[in-house]
Amino acid sequence: MPLTILVQLIPRQQPRSYSNSSSALLHPGKVHLTQAAILIQRQYRGKWLAKCSAFNAIDTVKHWRFSKFIEDIEDE
């Protein structure tokens, strides 16, 4: 199968505004999600506040990281 056809068959990856930063060994029963809020200065439309995973926020000048902790997750 040609690569061009294979690429057309693969679904697009959905955007994700968080990163899973959990460690089951260090924090069993807890889920840690990391997000970043970024403030982007656009040339023509002014400032724009967006959210993304912290990995994508590394290149921005102004970003704030925060973690959301979901505790006591029970196994079903």
Q: Which domain holds residue 58?
A: 14-70
Q: In the chain, where does DSSP find H-type helix?
A: 3-9
Do the domain assignments include residue 57?
yes
Do the domain assignments include residue 48?
yes
Do the domain assignments include residue 35?
yes
Q: What is the pLDDT along the chain (76 residues), one digit of tens a residue?
A: 788 888 888 887 676 666 667 778 887 888 777 666 666 666 666 666 666 655 555 554 433 333 333 333 333 3
Do the domain assignments include residue 31?
yes
Report the number of distinct structural domains present in the chain.
1
Do the domain assignments include residue 47?
yes
Tokens 């990163």 correspond to 19
- Judge whether 70 and 33 are in contact, CB under 8 Å: yes
Do the domain assignments include residue 2?
no
Do the domain assignments include residue 76?
no
- Judge whether 67 and 34 are in contact, CB under 8 Å: yes
Do the domain assignments include residue 8?
no
Pairing label, strands 63-70, 46-52:
unpaired
